[in-house]
Amino acid sequence: MYKIFKYKFEDRHKHFWCSDWHNFHDPQWNIPIWESRGYKNHVHSSEEVIRVVNERVGENDTLWYLGDGFLNASDGDCLGWLSRIKCQNIKYLFGNHESNMYRLYKQEVEKQYGTNDVEIYPVRMGNVEFMGNHVEIQIGKKHIVMNHFPVRIWNKSQHGSWMLSGHSHLNDPERRPEAPIHKALDVGWDYKNDVWSYNDLEDVMSTKSLIVIDHHK
């Protein structure tokens, strides 16, 4: 989506970020994702995400969610789980595991617009607002680029804009908090089993050097 959404700097504490909950994800892996995160099983994992999000993010705050919310779930599982999140402003970007959420989105488009053969953003469904695949915002003068997938060169990166993504589950060394270069971060659940606040992001980005790798200097 081309539009850049703008917010007041004094409201920065009302914004939070996260991705890759993988709620209900219980595949037969050698190390299931819930186990690698320190949970007892996939039910415990999904319940703990609800508890933490509701403790950190208020009803009138904004939660920027960067994809892969559910896997191995039914549509009813997704809707029931989301109804228990008190935040009423979940800005949802699609990831690569979105069969449930994309189907629910298409149903909502058809309900609101009478057709499902187009994509329209944003579209609200309860406390979720579907935002598509890519979003850019400004909080005060800080430009923030968001996508489920890590982007190597992003808009205004030469001016110190932030690039927030998920997907890599900390396997991309340049997206880890301790990486010394690039104003980029994987905001997935894996690092600390928590959401990221604006202050959290600011603290991490302050330790990263600005490296310009495209033709804009």
Q: Which phi and psi angles does 143 have, rounded to 5°?
A: -90, 130
Judge whether residue 202 has pLDDT over 90: yes
Q: What is d(CA 89, CA 196) in angstroms, rounded to the nearest whole number?
A: 16
Of the two residues 24 and 210, the one the predictor is more confident about is 24
Q: Do the beta carbons of residue 20 and residue 68 sit within 8 Å?
A: yes
pLDDT: is 30 or 77 the higher one?
77
Instruction: Report the run of H or E that residue 15 belongs to, with start and end.
Output: strand 15-18
Tell me the C-alpha distance between 171 and 78, whole Å: 27
Helix (H, G, I), strand (E, B) or coil at 58: coil
Structure tokens at 46: 């999904």
Q: Tens digit of pLDDT for each residue in 67-89?
A: 999 998 999 999 999 999 999 99
Of 213 and 85, the one with more pLDDT: 85
Domain map of the chain by residue range? 4-205
Structure tokens at 125: 């469904």
Reported as a single tens digit per residue, the pLDDT across 107-147 is 999 999 999 899 999 999 999 999 999 999 999 999 999 99
Percentage of residues in the chain having pLDDT higher than 70 = 98
What are the tokens at 20? 């890759």
Cβ burial of 12 (10 Å; 0-12, 13-18, 19+) is middle
Structure-model confidence comparison of residues 28 and 60, the more confident one: 60
How many C-beta atoms lie closer than 10 Å to residue 135's C-beta?
Answer: 22
Give me the pLDDT at residue 215, please. Answer: 66
- Fold type of domain 4-205: Purple Acid Phosphatase; chain A, domain 2 (3.60.21)
H helix intervals, the chain: 33-36, 42-56, 75-83, 99-113, 198-205
Average pLDDT over residues 209-217: 74
Mean of per-residue pLDDT scores for the chain: 94
Are 107 and 187 contacting, i.e. CB atoms less than 8 angstroms apart?
A: no
* pLDDT in the model for residue 211: 76
